[in-house]
Structure 1
């Protein structure tokens, strides 16, 4: 059944969305039953002559809506639809509405294929009317955490994206959020002129600062990040907080760790922590969203929603101070 999936490179609909739509339909109609395994992302990508990340993105979205589930070596398994799925009440109500409308369309003489095409067209149009917001980070845990925090504060769904795991040309986000750490990389990836990119500030947990300060009082703290620019930013933010004896590490070899009492690394890098533990004390640099970031993103979202609705954006808002988040065109 999965071999019936087809994608068009010339469609305005992103390829991953085409896959999601077709697999969702197969699952909803019972053509793909619970317990049935989907082909691996690599195999399906090879068959469709597309990037594996595109299929992985489609499978991830199907997982988010409760239709499939990743089970390690077993692969991706169909688990829905089912009453236990989150949002099943809304789906039941939608099914009732669509069932009534479908019967009327049949009575008007439309075929099942025509109705399916029409519903898909209307659904995509309605979806396009919604403001699409994404948050980009370097690892999945941080991406999900910050996306969830932003979503709870601004009242708009925020999709978490991880650098290196998605196809930028397929992202149709209206607003892309990221941290200043990844701003340059995200700007280079997201080249759609209609996409607004906003850099936000994340601040260290108070507990993180206290622990680092206690070590730096009589010892030396080393900072290791993916790039020197990121490490320097963390170092400078710690120094601005009054913490001295902070150094940027060139690497994590024994020679790089000489005289270092604590190594601070980004959170979510379990493999790096394992490499360092036993050789030096390690601490992950936990962050929280800056309050000014949340207010600024809320303003941006409100302005963009007004534009979507055809209204003029709010005027007279004060420009952000240099230390606050900034919009990047």
Structure 2
């Protein structure tokens, strides 16, 4: 790895790009340990805080995470390689454009500056959309699904795990359960905060409804807040024999006929395998909510484009 202080690209961003590329190409795999920030900074001849900044960005991207004494470890290799096809296609497009520009007589430095300027211009016109949740798995799941349906990149944000002052989204999407907190953290004159409905899949409700009323439906989630949110939504749907589980001992599972776990956390289901019937809580995005979010996006995009016109 090497960095250039003469480049217009910030040094921390150069580190992020190079580590991401190594993960995408399989040169770094899940479980591989990255150099400590002090060691890498010394090796590159840069400030340690710059490396820390880069590692923070890579954590937000879900590519690395801290593992105690092992330092920063790669965890997002599979996901990175899945998305690398898009980046490879982008490289092909840029390579072809660069060759044409070289043929026109431009220098490499001129092409670089031109691409950087155009990218900044287009990025400034593009809406920044985020989805806020209290759980990392749900945040990523819904951000991906919203991105697919809305046709934009949606950044997942986990409550308590991001710097609100450093986030400048044009549109924030969240569930009604977290609407107040999201507004408190992220609402600015230039930011719109909108709540969407994430409803239980009909098949989930059918299986829960089949549990006898004198038996218990247990909820097992990574966080109590998330479990309470699901419990409240099911209660509103008419399910009264439901309980949030705080453990998985035989005592905890007494009188429990069915345990509901989040579809994005299969490891919770494995903890109960062979002991009790388990189903995954399948969520579906309310179609009307998605349409509303799309309309808000179009209005914000129109306003942003209008403001940038000379």
Which deviations, in whole Å up to 9, do the C-alpha atoms of 1:45-74 show, x marking residues without a partner? 86342153313446859xxxxxxxx9879x
Q: Tell me the CA shift for residue 182 of structure 1.
A: 4.3
Q: 1:168 to 1:252 in 2, by over 3 A?
A: farther
- Taking the aligned partners of 1:146 and 1:304, their CA distance within structure 2 comes to 21
Q: Tell me the CA shift for residue 86 of structure 1.
A: 4.1
Q: Is the 8 A contact 1:213 1:243 kept in 2?
A: yes
Q: Is the 8 A contact 1:220 1:260 kept in 2?
A: yes
Q: Is the 8 A contact 2:125 2:304 kept in 1?
A: yes
For 2:290, the equivalent position in structure 1 comes to: 294
- Taking the aligned partners of 2:115 and 2:290, their CA distance within structure 1 comes to 36
Coordinate RMSD, CA, aligned = 4.4
1:1-329 matches, within 5 Å, as 2-4=1-3, 17=13, 19-20=15-16, 36-37=27-28, 40-41=33-34, 43=36, 47=41, 48-49=48-49, 50-51=52-53, 52-57=55-60, 60=63, 85-86=85-86, 91-104=91-104, 106=106, 112-137=108-133, 142-161=138-157, 168-183=164-179, 186-187=182-183, 190=186, 194-310=190-306
- Taking the aligned partners of 1:5 and 1:44, their CA distance within structure 2 comes to 18
- Taking the aligned partners of 1:86 and 1:19, their CA distance within structure 2 comes to 20
Q: Is the 8 A contact 1:14 1:171 kept in 2?
A: no
TM-score (norm 1): 0.66
* Structure 2: tracts of 5 or more residues without a match: 42-47, 65-72
- Matched residue count: 284
TM-score (norm 2): 0.69
Which deviations, in whole Å up to 9, do the C-alpha atoms of 1:184-214 show, x marking residues without a partner? 5645654766333322110111110011111
Partner SS state of residue 274, structure 1: helix
Which deviations, in whole Å up to 9, do the C-alpha atoms of 1:269-324 show, x marking residues without a partner? 2333333344433332111001221121011111111111117xxxxxxxxxxxxx
Q: 1:101 to 1:53 in 2, by over 3 A?
A: same
Partner SS state of residue 207, structure 1: helix
Q: Is the 8 A contact 1:16 1:55 kept in 2?
A: no
* Structure 1: tracts of 5 or more residues without a match: 62-69, 312-329
